[in-house]
């Protein structure tokens, strides 16, 4: 491979690593949706698979808050948390916080986002392995490009599904005791979005790498063996009909020898 192709391949691999790191950081953060419930003096962070609550916020100045209490988190797929939410929802008319508890459930769109995230990471890792093998075995560039494209598509689906789901009315707004609060999209989404952008950049570099490979090598050197077949000389045999009756028929070798012996012993000898 030439220097330009190696440079594009190296840049693409670096972007894959950056994209995987950013997407991992985004998914493992709970700050996908953030809402400040002022009447509860608490900040709620709703993530993809876990939620966190900062119970107290002390006002230092107008518009400035000092966070004293650390985040308290729980998993969305925790059965005990699901039972607590079910009990709270049964007293929704008495407890004003019951409406907010609905946002701690593990909904289907959360599972869809996490599924596409896992697929994206697995495909990105496959592309990473095949990309490292591409300098030694050039056809790996095709597997590398295809795996990277599928990883990019899955990462885009993660961002798309979350964005459209988060803007639904029943998910976007949180009902408190006296007021309704709007959730804003947190930094975790934008962190994952940057990772998706890195994967898109890696895919563009992978396309350029494959194009450069085709431009210099062509299809013949990739799929055909490195030797050329020599043409074997051959003779074309034709058949002609015997129209002339005076033609002498062909005789076998054994018949010719027999006639020679007969002629030798029957010929007269001179004394």
For residue 55, what pLDDT band results from cuts at 50, 70 and 90? Answer: confident
Return the percentage of the chain with pLDDT > 90, whole number.
37
CA–CA dist 187, 37 (Å, integer)? 18
According to the model, what pLDDT value does residue 173 have?
Answer: 87
According to the model, what pLDDT value does residue 263 have?
Answer: 60
Residue 101 covered by a domain = yes
According to the model, what pLDDT value does residue 176 have?
Answer: 74
Q: What is the pTM of this model?
A: 0.71
Could you give the number of structural domains in the chain? 1
**Rounded mean pLDDT of the chain?**
78
Residue 190 covered by a domain = yes
In terms of C-beta density within 10 A (0-12 exposed, 13-18 middle, 19 or more buried), how is residue 112 classed?
Answer: middle
Return the percentage of the chain with pLDDT > 70, whole number.
66
Residue 227 covered by a domain = no
CATH code of 172's domain: 1.20.140.150
Residue 140: count other Cβ atoms within 10 Å of its Cβ. Answer: 17
Q: What is 229-249 written as a DSSP string?
A: PPPPP-----------TTPPP
Q: Which of 117-126, 164-173, 239-248 has the lowest mean pLDDT?
A: 239-248
Q: pLDDT higher for 44 or 150?
A: 150
Q: What is the arithmetic mean of pLDDT over 144-173?
A: 94
Check pLDDT > 90 for residue 53.
Answer: no
For residue 58, give its domain range.
Answer: 3-220
According to the model, what pLDDT value does residue 73 have?
Answer: 86
According to the model, what pLDDT value does residue 225 have?
Answer: 43
Residue 104 covered by a domain = yes
Residue 151 covered by a domain = yes
Residue 246 covered by a domain = no
pLDDT digits (tens, 9 = 90+) for 83-126: 666 665 555 555 555 566 677 788 899 999 999 999 999 999 99
According to the model, what pLDDT value does residue 141 have?
Answer: 85
Check pLDDT > 60 for residue 268.
Answer: no
For residue 229, what pLDDT band results from cuts at 50, 70 and 90? Answer: very low
Residue 258 covered by a domain = no
Residue 76 covered by a domain = yes
Check pLDDT > 50 for residue 231.
Answer: no
According to the model, what pLDDT value does residue 157 have?
Answer: 97
CA–CA dist 109, 47 (Å, integer)? 12
- Find out whether 22 and 191 touch, Cβ atoms under 8 Å: yes
């Amino acid at each position: 491979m030439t220097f330009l192709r190696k440079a594009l391949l190296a840049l693409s691999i670096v972007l894959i690593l950056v994209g995987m790191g950013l997407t991992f950081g985004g998914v493992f953060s709970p700050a996908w949706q953030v809402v400040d419930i002022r009447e509860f003096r608490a900040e709620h962070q709703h993530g993809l698979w876990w939620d966190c609550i900062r119970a107290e916020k002390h006002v230092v100045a107008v518009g400035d808050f000092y966070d004293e209490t650390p985040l308290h988190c729980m998993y969305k797929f925790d059965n005990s948390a699901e039972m607590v939410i079910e009990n709270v929802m049964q007293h929704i008319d008495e407890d004003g916080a019951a409406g907010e508890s609905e946002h701690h459930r593990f909904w289907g769109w959360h599972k869809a986002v996490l599924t596409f995230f896992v697929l994206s990471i697995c495909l990105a890792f496959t592309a990473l392995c095949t990309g490292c093998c591409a300098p030694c075995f050039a056809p790996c560039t095709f597997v590398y490009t295809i795996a990277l494209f599928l990883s990019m598509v899955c990462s885009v689906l993660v961002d798309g599904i979350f964005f459209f789901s988060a803007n639904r009315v029943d998910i976007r707004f949180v009902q408190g005791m006296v007021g309704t609060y709007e959730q804003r999209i947190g930094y975790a989404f934008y962190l994952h979005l940057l990772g998706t952008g890195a994967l898109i950049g890696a895919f563009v570099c992978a396309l350029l790498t494959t194009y450069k490979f085709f431009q210099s090598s062509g299809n013949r050197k990739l799929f055909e063996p490195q030797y050329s077949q020599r043409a074997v000389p051959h003779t074309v045999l034709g058949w002609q009909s015997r129209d002339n009756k005076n033609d002498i028929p062909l005789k076998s070798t054994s018949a010719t020898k027999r006639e020679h012996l007969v002629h030798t012993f029957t010929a007269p000898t001179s004394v």
